[in-house]
Every structure is written in structure tokens, then in C-alpha cells.
Chain A
């Protein structure tokens, strides 16, 4: 039986997640239940959406350093405008998605480094968020709250949502022709251009799609936390990049994996829960998260080597 390289790319992140989950279950067998799983993966949904957004940007060889600030901005809009007057809220979100498309166009036309442009944008989103909510507050829209706290039978909401996100993005990125074009830009811009496609349009579309997923991330986050704050999601910038890499994605070359990205986000979320089960002193929580990141990546290297040895035979 022949396994495609895409599948092998997926095995490694999936194995890391399974290992971590097994460790959690071993330490705390009671986590092996509906409520337990729900608690473990509770915060995974917004992180998974942000990771997918970051993955789209990385698919065209860019990097979005404004992801955390933008998700915070979206969370603030959700908790204020979207809750009070949904029409204005939706308009703001459409504007924000359009802004993402414009950023994509500007980066392409002027050949600017995406890191710097998004760095600048992170200040802009942060400033807008502070203007809306100078202090933590706001209220979640009832439907967002309902969506995030609903309890489907047998499988917790967080896991259902993760599977849906993975399936939808897998279809869009890996199966549709648009997805092929997006990854094509990351792989070889010139050949996409010579084939007669408008690179500007694809790039604008990719950025807009990323903006859309980031908006969803902000909405689901508020659905979980019930209120927002201008700094609520700042760590998402680094979490989303780490999630994509953990999921087997690459910085260049359009090599991304939507299912891997969602698994990467789940792994990172689980790492947080794992540490609280370990009863590690709060001082070392962040450090242990770094150590887990290192261990998982070491595992990935080990499996990669194994795979190469198999191929060599």
C-alpha cells in the first residue's frame, strides 16, 4: 500500500496529539468523559480558527503578525456592536475583511515584507480595539453564547466544531481549484502568473478568506468568554504560527495542511490543560509550554527520520 506524502505529513501531528491526550488520561482518568473532554478542548475552537487564518497567509509565503490584535479587535466588535446592533456589527466585519484584502493587494503590488505591514496593522487593530473597549466589558450575542455552550449528543461541542472546521478548510484548500491556486502562489508565483491567473486577485482573496476565519475566531472566543477586552487574544499571533508549524506546515513553498493546522491548535490547547493537571507551579507554566513545544518538534524530527529510512530501503 502506498501512502501519500500528505498523509505522512498528517500522521506526525496526529501522533503528538494522541500521545499528549494519552498522558492526560493516564494522569486524570476522569478527563475521559464528555464533560472532561469539553473542558480540555474548550478554548480550542477560536485558536483553531485563528490557526487556519494564519495558515492561509502562510500558504502564500507571508506571515501575519497582526493575527492576535485582529482577533482581539473582532472579539471587541462582537461584544459591543454585533451584540447591540447586529447590522452595524456585520458591516464592520465586512469592512475588516475588505481591509485584509487591501493589505494583501498592497503587499503584492509594492512587494513589501508582509511581516512589517502586518506589524503596522497590529497597532491599528489594537488601537481600534482600545477605542471600542477601553476597559474589559461588553456582552456576548445570545446566539454566539448558545452556539459555544450547546451540548450535542455523544461528542462535545469543541470536538464537533474542530472536525467541522478541519473538514471545511480541507475541502477549500486541498480539494477546490481556488485552494490549488492559493497553494500555487506559495509554491511558484511565476508559473501561476504564466498560466494566466491574476495573482493580485488570488492574493486579495486569500487575505480576505484569512480575515473571515479570524472574524469567526473572534466571535467564537466571545461566545466562550461572554465578554471581551482589547488584549484578549494577543497571544494568538504566536499560538497560530506555532499551530501551523506543529501541524506540519512550512513557512515557504505553499506546503500547508488544514487538518494538521487544526490538530496543531488542539495540541497547543491540550498542552495548557496538561500542565494544570501536572500541578506545575504557575511560575513554570509558560516554560513548560515551551518545553512541550520542543518535545513535540523533536518527535516530529524523529518520525521524519524514520520515514526517510523506510523510503531509503
Chain B
């Protein structure tokens, strides 16, 4: 009884409950035939949202106003450059990954440099950077669509013991992020900064360094996600990141991370990512058109936040 009560006080439980409901409703419609395929697809596509969501979560944890809008542009540029560099050669896979990570580093530093030097709100700083990054991607994307190296393509599309490889990668990254958040001094620092930047500065926490690292972390995760997504979908496209802007914010907040900062939640991101994918596929199975699908997606997001948000304010 106490265990159940403890479970219900966890903010992430709601996103998982909603996920299970949507999964059951979808599978019921198809008579159970699609349960395995649906679960695998959900895990694969949720994994991409999880990877960018974790980065966004670290940034949002920093407190009000902290948000990274350069995520989609970073994903696009990273996917484009990495595939161009690897040029279908299997030997270049690691070099491509390394380039992506370095690119993420550079964009993260650029983001924070603008925030710090120009003292502009993160939302505008990351937006300006994302314009420049997007332009670079358009310029780099000229010419033919380059395929990913054979080994990398098969790695991203196959699965191990029925679990998609991408989901395993996302799981490993989540565990690392969880340890970082809950077990290291860095994780304590970002929570402290999110709860009160002033108090954090007074206690001697290196606020600027911590924020810099967080923005770099977010950009690096976005570039890794872009690298994987481009390999998974057989090439980079200029609009491949666009849906992940709203998605990365939505999964963080639906997952129970406080928008005001200082309180973050990794399991919730998984629940929310699975939920967001399953909602769309449920509406697809029921044969709704694009318009109705969008409307219902929006209403469901609001409904979830109404239920989950109410719980939070009661605590």
C-alpha cells in the first residue's frame, strides 16, 4: 500500500500510465496483431526524442528562461556534415561520430557565449545561433543525398533481443544522464542553480561554468541524435530536425520536469516520448486525417498537463 502510494507521488508515473492506456487502445483496435511491431517502432522513434529531450531537460533545469531552440538546426547540420564526411565508407564511422560531437561542442559554446557576452535571454541567443547553423546546413547539404555507411545503417535499423539498437543507445545515455544528475556534484549544481541562481552563486557554485557545460551537453546530445537519425533514415534532410523543436520541450514537460527549473526527471522523458509517438500512431490506426490528428494531439497534450500539473501543485 505504501509502495503504491509512493509510486503515485512520482511525477513521471502519469506519463507512463497514459502511455500504457494509449498502447492498449491501439493494440485493441488491430486485434493484438501489431503489438510487437508497434512496440518496436515506438521504442525506436521515442529513442530519438529521449536523446534530444535529455539535453533539453538539463537546460530547462537551469531555471526560468533557459531553453535551447537550436536543437533542430544542430541535428540537421550534424547529420549532414557527418554523412558527407563519412562518404559511405565504413572505416569513417567513428570519425563521423567524433565530428558530430565536436560540432555539438562548438554550437554549445557559441550558444552560451552569446548568452553570457551579450546578456541576452537564452531563447533569443539560441534562436540566432540556430539561424546561422541552419544556413550552414543548407549550404553543406548542396548536391546529392548521401547514404550512410552500410554498417552504421544496419546498426541503427536492427535490434538486439527484440529491442531496437537505437533504444539501447538512448537507454545508455539516459543512465549516464541519470548518474550525472543524481550522483555527481554537477547534477546538484544545476538543480541548485535552477532553484535559485542567486543562492547558488552565494554558496560558491561556479554558475557560469555549470551553465556553459549544460548548454554544451544539450548541443552534443542533439548532434548525436542528428547523427543517428540521419543514419537511421538513410540520409540527412534539411527539415529532419524541425519536429524535434516542440517535441524536445513537450517530452520534458509532460515527463514531469518542472518548467520553472530546479527539478528534473529522466524516467518521465521516456514515458512522455513513448506517449507522444503512440498517440500519433493510435490516431493513424483509427484513420483520422491530418487535421484531426493535429487537433487531438494538441488536446491530449493539454489534458495530460492538466492532470499531471494538478498533482504537482498539490504537493
B123: A residues at CB distance < 8 A: 241, 251
Query: B118 near A297 (CB under 8 angstroms)?
Result: yes
Query: A113 near B259 (CB under 8 angstroms)?
Result: yes
- A119 touching B128 in the complex, CB below 8 Å, given contacts A283-B135, A286-B138: no
Give the complex CA separation of A288 and B138 in angstroms.
13
Query: B253 near A113 (CB under 8 angstroms)?
Result: yes
Query: A112 near B138 (CB under 8 angstroms)?
Result: no
Query: A124 near B295 (CB under 8 angstroms)?
Result: yes
Q: Which of B114, B118, B124, B250 contacts A241 (CB 8 A)?
A: B124
* CB-nearest residue of chain B to A304: B119
A242: B residues at CB distance < 8 A: 124, 127
Is B310 in the interface zone, CB < 8 Å from A? yes
Please give the distance in Å from B114's CB to the nearest CB on chain A: 7
Please give the distance in Å from B67's CB to the nearest CB on chain A: 8
Query: A251 near B65 (CB under 8 angstroms)?
Result: yes
Query: A131 near B291 (CB under 8 angstroms)?
Result: yes
Is B130 in the interface zone, CB < 8 Å from A? yes
B142: A residues at CB distance < 8 A: 283
Query: A127 near B128 (CB under 8 angstroms)?
Result: no
Give the complex CA separation of A138 and B309 in angstroms.
40
Query: B253 near A115 (CB under 8 angstroms)?
Result: yes
Query: B249 near A119 (CB under 8 angstroms)?
Result: yes
Query: A122 near B298 (CB under 8 angstroms)?
Result: yes
Query: A111 near B313 (CB under 8 angstroms)?
Result: yes
Query: B294 near A126 (CB under 8 angstroms)?
Result: yes
B295: A residues at CB distance < 8 A: 123-124, 127-128, 131
B119: A residues at CB distance < 8 A: 301
* CB-nearest residue of chain A to B297: A123
Give the complex CA separation of A297 and B114 in angstroms.
10
Please give the distance in Å from A275's CB to the nearest CB on chain B: 11
Q: Which of A126, A131, A290 contacts B127 (CB 8 A)?
A: A290
Is A71 in the interface zone, CB < 8 Å from B? no
Give the complex CA separation of A65 and B127 in angstroms.
14
Q: Which of A110, A113, A252, A297 contacts B120 (CB 8 A)?
A: A297
A294: B residues at CB distance < 8 A: 114, 118, 128
Which DSSP category, helix, strand, loop or mixed, fits chain B's interface? helix
Q: A116-B301, A128-B291, A291-B132 are in contact. List 10 more A-B contacts (CB 8 A).
A: A110-B310, A116-B250, A120-B305, A123-B298, A126-B294, A245-B120, A287-B135, A287-B136, A290-B131, A293-B128
Query: B135 near A119 (CB under 8 angstroms)?
Result: no
Query: A116 near B291 (CB under 8 angstroms)?
Result: no
Tally of chain B residues near chain A (CB < 8 A): 49
Could you mark each residue 237-260 of chain B with 1 if its beta carbon is under 8 Å from any beta carbon of chain A, else 0? 000000000100110011000011
Those 4 A-B pairs whose CB atoms lie nearest each other, nearest first:
A287-B135, A290-B131, A123-B298, A127-B294
Is A83 in the interface zone, CB < 8 Å from B? no
Query: A127 near B292 (CB under 8 angstroms)?
Result: yes
Give the complex CA separation of A113 and B301 in angstroms.
12
- A115 touching B302 in the complex, CB below 8 Å, given contacts A127-B291, A245-B124, A288-B135: no
Is A192 in the interface zone, CB < 8 Å from B? no
Could you mark each residue 128-140 of chain A with 1 if its beta carbon is under 8 Å from any beta carbon of chain B, else 0? 1111001000000
* CB-nearest residue of chain B to A299: B118
A129: B residues at CB distance < 8 A: 291
Give the complex CA separation of A293 and B246 in angstroms.
22
**B residues within 8 Å of A by Cβ?**
64-65, 69, 114, 118-121, 123-124, 127-136, 138-139, 142, 246, 249-250, 253-254, 259-260, 289-302, 305-306, 309-310, 313
- A131 touching B124 in the complex, CB below 8 Å, given contacts A284-B135, A293-B131: no
Please give the distance in Å from A45's CB to the nearest CB on chain B: 23
* CB-nearest residue of chain A to B124: A245
Query: B134 near A119 (CB under 8 angstroms)?
Result: no
* CB-nearest residue of chain B to A230: B291
A110: B residues at CB distance < 8 A: 306, 309-310, 313
A285: B residues at CB distance < 8 A: 135
Give the complex CA separation of A112 and B304 in angstroms.
11
Query: B305 near A112 (CB under 8 angstroms)?
Result: yes
Give the complex CA separation of A123 and B64 in angstroms.
24
Query: B305 near A116 (CB under 8 angstroms)?
Result: yes
B294: A residues at CB distance < 8 A: 123-124, 126-127, 130
A106: B residues at CB distance < 8 A: 306
A115: B residues at CB distance < 8 A: 249, 253, 259
Q: Could you list some 6 contacts between A and B, CB below 8 A?
A: A119-B250, A123-B295, A124-B299, A287-B136, A293-B127, A297-B128
Is A121 in the interface zone, CB < 8 Å from B? yes
Could you mark each residue 86-120 of chain A with 1 if its beta carbon is under 8 Å from any beta carbon of chain B, else 0? 00000000000000000000100011110111011
Is A289 in the interface zone, CB < 8 Å from B? yes
Give the complex CA separation of A127 and B258 in angstroms.
28
B306: A residues at CB distance < 8 A: 106, 110, 112
Query: A134 near B291 (CB under 8 angstroms)?
Result: yes
Please give the distance in Å from A120's CB to the nearest CB on chain B: 4
Query: A121 near B121 (CB under 8 angstroms)?
Result: no
Query: A245 near B301 (CB under 8 angstroms)?
Result: no
B259: A residues at CB distance < 8 A: 113, 115-116
